[in-house]
Amino acid sequence: MKLNNCFNILLAAYLATFLRLAINNNLIISLIGSFLVGFFTSKRLSYSNEKILLSGFFSCFTSFSGFIYFLYKILNKGDWIKFIIFFNLIIIVNLFTMFLGSWLSRKIT
């Protein structure tokens, strides 16, 4: 990978981190990120643009740790039913949102 691509990935990750801090809501960030990942993955992107978006921007924007921390807080309270419901709900809603982004991207193009 070229040095320029590495710099662009780092810049995208840097910008995504600040955008994540500005929004400061795990559910909204997860939904926006899932939609945009679905939207951009259905486009024919170059290898470098795909790495910049997926490995740089979206990996920092929709970090898995926010999702895990949210579930950990519920599990730590001992509320297994709420944990199972939220775990499944978050995954299903994010998959649907990603599908919606992919579908909309194909309709626009």
Cα–Cα distance for residue pair 87/72, rounded to 1 Å: 10
Residue 102 and residue 42 in contact, taking contact as beta carbons nearer than 8 Å: yes
**Most distant CA atoms of the chain, gap in Å:** 48
pTM, to two decimals: 0.83
At residue 46, the 3 state secondary structure works out as: coil
- The answer on pLDDT for 103 being more than 80 is yes
Six-digit token string for 98? 């990603």
Where is pLDDT greater, at 71 or 3? 71
pLDDT tens-place string over residues 81-98 = 999 999 999 899 999 999
